[in-house]
Structure formats: C-alpha cells, structure tokens
A and B are shown apart, each in its own frame.
Chain A
Amino acid sequence: MATELMPGRKRFTVGTVLADVAIVGWFVFSLFPIVWMVLLSLKTSADQTSTYFAFSPTLENFGTVLSAKGEALTSVNFSQALITSVINCGAAVIVSLVIGIPAAYAAGRWKYRGSNDLMFTILSFRFAPELMVIVPLFVIYNQIGLFDTKVGLIWVLQLVTMPLVVWILRSYFEDMPAELEQAALLDGYTRRRAFIMVALPLVRPGIAAAALLAFIFAWNNYVFPLILTGSDNSTVTVAISKYLGGGGQAYYNLTAAAAIIGALPPLILALTIQRYLVRGLSFGAVKS
C-alpha cells in the first residue's frame, strides 16, 4: 500500500516540507502531556511542582503506588483496583461480545420493520451523558444491592461497550457477502453452523477491533465506578484520582505514576491483539 501511495523518490517541495513541519508540530502538541506525565512520575515529592526538565529521576513513586504506603495515603488498594478493573472490563467485553455478535449479525443480515430504529436506540445509549443516568442508577443499585459489586459495574458498563460492539460488527457483517452463508446452507449446514463456520471466522478482525475499543472505553470510564462503587470495588480510574487529594494534599507525582501503571493493561492488550486487526481476509471470496 505504502509503495503504491508513494511511488519513486520523494520530492521535496514547499508544500511537503510545510506538511512535515505541521505533522511534527502536531505530534509535539499531542504527545507533550504524555511526556510531561512520564517526567512527573519520575520526580520526587519535592520536585513535583517544579517545571524544570532537569531533576534526579526516581522510580520510588511506582513502588509507593503499588504498596501499602499508597493505600495509607488514599485508603484505596491500587493493586486491588487494577485487578478489579481487569475483571470488570474483561467481563463487560465478553458479555458484550456474546450478546452483541448475534445482535450485530441479525442487524446486518435482516432488515425488518423497526430494525433501524432498534439500532439507533442501541446507539443512543451513548448519547446520554453518563451524569444524566447516574443518579437514578445509584438509587436503583442501592435498593437492589448492586452498589459496590463487580456484577453491578459489569452490567452498567454494557451501556459503554455494547453499542460499540454492535455498531462496529454490524458493518463487518454487512460487508460480508450473504452468498457465502447461502453456499454453506446448500452444502447442507444449518443456519447456526453456517454462521459459526463461515461468517464468524471472517469477522474475526472486526471482533478484535470492537473488543479492543470496548475494553479501552470501559477501562477509561470514570463516572460509573466513581458513583456506583465504594472502597471494595474501586477501579483504576477512581484509584488514580484519589492521589489528587480530594480536599487533602495532592500527590501529582504519584498520580502520574498511577496513571502510567493504569495505562499499561490496555496498551498490552492492544499490542497482543494487533495481528488480528488486519482486514482483507475476505478478499477472493467473491468476484470483485
């Protein structure tokens, strides 16, 4: 692809140079907060409010966050929150896939009265600001005993992950020619087996992409766990924010260290899943 887009030697013109400068400028702008966060996480408490780039770096902050020392400062066990987040988000994504894949398939394959309205309704879960639904949810959760439970949070995270999974996968199923499954039906396979044997393997890249995005969105969600969990089931996002003090002293260097640790699981997941994200597996299935 790259070779097709840029045949031969690259020519330097005023336009390309300006474009390169603009790209570099944009990178500096967008990456600077991350750079600053990394720097901050390596500073001691004495240096944390300084704006100098020169300081003696330390890894101590990471140790503090992951140990009992951090828990003493914030009354939240960060390692525990990390595990809770992995469980919550993992489970939320799995539930979304189990329900969302068949839903997306149905939506992509069959048009029926109101099918578009239904899809729009599912998407509309994403329109409403979380703060709008959080109060009634809090009341309900308190009454039915789901407050500060993993099940409760996994359930509410469906509002975040399900629309994503259904909408992404629907377009994958729509792109896949229906004649592939029709061929399987005539080969003697039931609709269920045609789906599992033919359709499912072909949308694997889509499943990977949807699962990854859903995981990241669930992972980064802050409002739901903030309101709907207490100290037992705090998530990473809530645990990170605790270092900002909440009335007491703010530990910017510890916040930065916690944020970096908190960013690692989605990053690792993205890197592992990357090779499944290739599209184009269905090339050659039908004539183009």
Chain B
Amino acid sequence: MATLETRGLTKSYGKTRGIEDVTLEIGDGEFFVILGPSGAGKTTTLKSVAGLVDVDSGEVTIGGVSMNGVEPYHRNVAMAFESYALYPQKTVSQNLASPLRSGRTGRYSEEDQQRRIELVTTTLGINHLLKRFPRELSNGQRQRVALGRVLVRPADVYLLDEPLSHLDAKLRAAMRAELKQLGEMSSTTSLYVTHDYQEALALGDRIAVLREGRLVQVGTPEEIWHRPVDTFVAKALGQPEINLVDAVVDRGVLRTQGDALQVPLAGDLELAPDDHARIGVRPRDIELSRGAEPLEDHLRVRATVRLSERLGREIELTVDAGGVSLVAVTPGAHVFDEGQSVELDIPLDHVHVFAAPAGDDPDADSARLGAATVEQVSATSGRQQ
C-alpha cells in the first residue's frame, strides 16, 4: 500500500506521441481508473509506472519514493497485462506461483504459496484449471489467471490493463461487481485502465480521461458524468452518445434550428447575443412528458418519432424536433409508431452548454461552458449510466 504520483510523464515513440505531461496524484488505497479510447496512451502510462517504458521526462513516485532509475523488479508493483502475458510453458498453478517464488515480493513457504493460490483462484473461479497450460484456456480464463497473478501477491500498487475486456458480457458484469470487493484489491492502491465507461464509472474512486496522450479531465465519477469539461469527455461516457445540438443566442435564449429547443440562459453562462454554442443532452436525461403542463425547470420539446427500438426494458427513441435529431432512452412500456408525435421533458440542470466548435470542423471538440441552470457545487443526484 502506498500513494502513487506521476509528474509530467512524457513519452514519444519516434514522431508519435505516446503520452504528454501526465500528472496524477493517487491516494493510498485509492482505486483510480484511466479511461480513454485505444491509442490514447493508457498502457504507456501504466508501463511507465511499472518501469517497463523509459519515459522521456517526468517522474513516478511510489509511497513518496522517486522511482527514477529504479528497476521494475524493485518497484513492488504488480501488473495484469492486456495481452495476459502468461508463461506458456508453465501451468496455471506455476504461473500464479511465479511472483511468490521470486523472493522480491516476500518469503512464502510452500504451504503459504498453496494457500494464497487456492484463495485467489477460488475467488476468480479458476481453481479447477490449476494443472492446465495457458494454451488450454479460453481467453476469459486466461484473463482471470493474469488477474490472479496480480492478486496472489501483496504489492504497493496494482496496475490493471483492461483486465475485464475479454470476458463475456455476463461474466464481466459479475467480475466488475466483485473486483473492488476482492480482499487485496480493496486496500491496495490500484491503477485501472479501460476503454469501457461503465467500468470506469462503476469501479473508479476517481477517473482520469485520457485523449491522445493528454489528460482531459480528472475527477470523481459524479464530476466526470455531470460536469464533463468538454464534448470529448461528454461523448466518451454514455451509450447512446450525448446529443449535441448547435444553437445560437437570441434574445437571452439559446435556440436551436427551428426553435425546437429553447434554453434560457442562466446567469453564469458568458454568452453574448448571436454567440454560437452547442447544447448537450444525454439520452437518458430526456423524459416522456406525463402531464399536459410543462414542468418547472424543464424544457418541453415537441418531436416526431423517427425510430423506436426496444432495448430490453428500455426504449431507444430517435426523434425529430423541428429538424434537429435527438436520441432518447426512456423506460417506456410500449414502442412508438414511426411518425407519432411525442412531448419530451428535459430537466434544465441536465442540459449542458458547450462552446461552438472552433475552426471549420463541425465535429471538433469544444469546452463545456456550464449547465442551463446555475450549478450546485456538489452534484448530488444519483449516478447514472
């Protein structure tokens, strides 16, 4: 157990940027998630902490001790590789015993080793595979063995590179729920890398969003979800993606094309008349109107259903609001007909306002300016996905 800090980690591969100026402060026992699309530099960050990548500049500190020039085997970190990296010539049992036999993670008697392996394989549901070789396992099983090789030993920091990515959906959900409860995991500082926003939101004490090697935002899941710093973070979280609609300030109101959405400007938004901006609304924040009267602090939107799909308990609606296409996910009981008119309510505090995209690219990411109402300092509403 230890704190983990990185300061200004920078690494490039030839002309390609790996990571740039990655600075993180991770508390003792914290479960910290790095979220980002592939190629964002997540694995490079992990390997820099492990000492497997020689960074161009920057420093890693574990437990207050600088790791500059410290060999990986002296750093006391354990890592689950995305590629598993199981020793092919060794059985599962021998793979798991490997960190216990090196002598650098503590001394373990033969019984100690057996007990630890037994414990961790039972938790991970792989204790019937101990005699098998990695080539005789499915990808999901290999991934659990790789995770087991981390959990079997105490370490200052656990580094987990997409440890759930190859499990099937059901097992992944189950493992996700269990992961943080696993004995060692709950008390060991962990750096967890994923491209799956649900994993990040569910597991992370805090989340860092990484894009093209740079940190975009660091914060609690609530902060990241409710106050994304820009459209990139907003789009990275949530499936279906957040609705982004171009709008113009006119007479103190942000209006979209055809006036379908009219967002009154709250006091803290610094927008002048005729300024362009983008309105962001998450599909799950759009509700079907229940009453005829518009609710207080809600936007009322009239729209026509273009597409209505049932996704399990929920319905995904694609609607057209005066030429603006919106996606909504509602817990509705019935599927709508194409062409049917609906009325939608959007709580104003869930309406995000982003700056207009700079330059000519209409899809360029832009910073968040605020919400449609004056924001509370702490976002207290429940976690949503």
Interface residues of A in 237-288 (CB under 8 A from B): 281-287
Inter-subunit contact B98/A281 (CB<8 Å): no
- Residues of chain A contacted by B79 (CB below 8 angstroms): 182-183, 186
Inter-subunit contact B85/A202 (CB<8 Å): no
Interface residues of B in 50-95 (CB under 8 A from A): 50-52, 71-73, 75, 77-79, 81-89
Inter-subunit contact B87/A186 (CB<8 Å): no
Inter-subunit contact B88/A185 (CB<8 Å): no
Inter-subunit contact B103/A182 (CB<8 Å): no
How far is B143's CA from A284's CA once the two chains are assembled, in angstroms?
11
Q: Which residue of chain A is the closest to B102 with respect to CB atoms? A: A188
From the candidates B51, B84, B98, B103, name the one contacting A287 in the complex (CB within 8 A).
B84
Q: Which residue of chain B is the closest to A181 with respect to CB atoms? A: B85
Inter-subunit contact A186/B139 (CB<8 Å): no
Inter-subunit contact A281/B50 (CB<8 Å): no
Question: Which of B72, B75, B136 gathers most chain A CB within 10 Å?
Answer: B72
A-B pairs, 8 with minimum CB distance: A284-B135, A188-B104, A188-B102, A285-B88, A286-B83, A179-B85, A187-B99, A185-B72
Interface flags for A210-227 (1: CB within 8 Å of B; 0: not) read 000000000000000000
Q: Which residue of chain B is the closest to A285 with respect to CB atoms? A: B88
Inter-subunit contact A286/B99 (CB<8 Å): no
Inter-subunit contact B85/A185 (CB<8 Å): no
Once A182-B72, A189-B73, A201-B89 are accepted as A-B contacts, the answer to whether A287 and B139 lie under 8 Å apart by CB is yes
Interface flags for B132-154 (1: CB within 8 Å of A; 0: not) read 01111101001000000100000
27 contacts between A and B (CB under 8 A): A177-B85, A179-B83, A180-B87, A180-B88, A182-B81, A182-B85, A183-B86, A184-B87, A186-B50, A186-B52, A186-B77, A186-B78, A186-B79, A187-B98, A187-B102, A187-B105, A187-B149, A189-B104, A190-B71, A190-B73, A201-B89, A285-B84, A285-B87, A285-B134, A287-B82, A287-B139, A287-B166
How far is B51's CA from A201's CA once the two chains are assembled, in angstroms?
25
Once A179-B81, A285-B134, A287-B139 are accepted as A-B contacts, the answer to whether A188 and B88 lie under 8 Å apart by CB is no
Closest chain B CB from A198 CB (angstroms): 6
Closest chain B CB from A72 CB (angstroms): 54
- Residues of chain B contacted by A193 (CB below 8 angstroms): 102
- Residues of chain A contacted by B87 (CB below 8 angstroms): 180, 183-184, 198, 285
Closest chain B CB from A182 CB (angstroms): 5
Once A285-B134, A286-B84 are accepted as A-B contacts, the answer to whether A185 and B89 lie under 8 Å apart by CB is no
Residues of A at the B interface (CB closer than 8 Å) are: 177, 179-180, 182-191, 193, 198, 201-202, 281-287
Q: Which residue of chain A is the closest to B155 with respect to CB atoms? A: A186
| Further contacts, 20 of them, CB under 8 A, given A189-B104, A283-B88 | A177-B85, A180-B88, A182-B47, A182-B72, A183-B87, A183-B149, A184-B87, A185-B52, A186-B52, A187-B99, A187-B102, A187-B105, A188-B99, A188-B104, A188-B105, A281-B89, A282-B88, A284-B86, A284-B135, A287-B166
Inter-subunit contact A183/B85 (CB<8 Å): yes
Closest chain A CB from B384 CB (angstroms): 33
From the candidates A188, A190, A283, A287, name the one contacting B83 in the complex (CB within 8 A).
A287
How far is B299's CA from A231's CA once the two chains are assembled, in angstroms?
104
Q: Which residue of chain A is the closest to B75 with respect to CB atoms? A: A186
Inter-subunit contact A283/B135 (CB<8 Å): yes
Residues of B in contact (CB 8 Å), total: 35
How far is B100's CA from A188's CA once the two chains are assembled, in angstroms?
9
How far is B84's CA from A183's CA once the two chains are assembled, in angstroms?
9
Once A285-B87, A287-B84 are accepted as A-B contacts, the answer to whether A188 and B77 lie under 8 Å apart by CB is no
Interface flags for B13-24 (1: CB within 8 Å of A; 0: not) read 000000000000
Closest chain B CB from A188 CB (angstroms): 3
Q: Which residue of chain A is the closest to B161 with respect to CB atoms? A: A179
How far is B53's CA from A145's CA once the two chains are assembled, in angstroms?
50
From the candidates A179, A186, A284, name the one contacting B136 in the complex (CB within 8 A).
A284
- Residues of chain B contacted by A285 (CB below 8 angstroms): 84-88, 134-135
- Residues of chain A contacted by B81 (CB below 8 angstroms): 179, 182-183, 286
Interface residues of B in 329-346 (CB under 8 A from A): none
How far is B135's CA from A30's CA once the two chains are assembled, in angstroms?
40
How far is B81's CA from A24's CA once the two chains are assembled, in angstroms?
51
Question: Which of A184, A188, A198 gathers most chain B CB within 10 Å?
Answer: A188
How far is B54's CA from A140's CA once the two chains are assembled, in angstroms?
46
How far is B134's CA from A287's CA once the two chains are assembled, in angstroms?
10
- Residues of chain B contacted by A201 (CB below 8 angstroms): 89
Closest chain A CB from B138 CB (angstroms): 10
- Residues of chain B contacted by A187 (CB below 8 angstroms): 73, 98-99, 102, 105, 149
How far is B105's CA from A201's CA once the two chains are assembled, in angstroms?
24
- Residues of chain B contacted by A281 (CB below 8 angstroms): 88-89
- Residues of chain B contacted by A180 (CB below 8 angstroms): 85, 87-88
Closest chain B CB from A6 CB (angstroms): 25
Inter-subunit contact A284/B89 (CB<8 Å): no
From the candidates B73, B86, B88, B166, name the one contacting A186 in the complex (CB within 8 A).
B73
Interface flags for B264-278 (1: CB within 8 Å of A; 0: not) read 000000000000000
Closest chain A CB from B152 CB (angstroms): 10
Once A198-B87, A202-B89, A285-B86 are accepted as A-B contacts, the answer to whether A189 and B102 lie under 8 Å apart by CB is yes
How far is B104's CA from A186's CA once the two chains are assembled, in angstroms?
10
How far is B82's CA from A287's CA once the two chains are assembled, in angstroms?
8
From the candidates A186, A198, A202, name the one contacting B72 in the complex (CB within 8 A).
A186
Inter-subunit contact A184/B133 (CB<8 Å): no
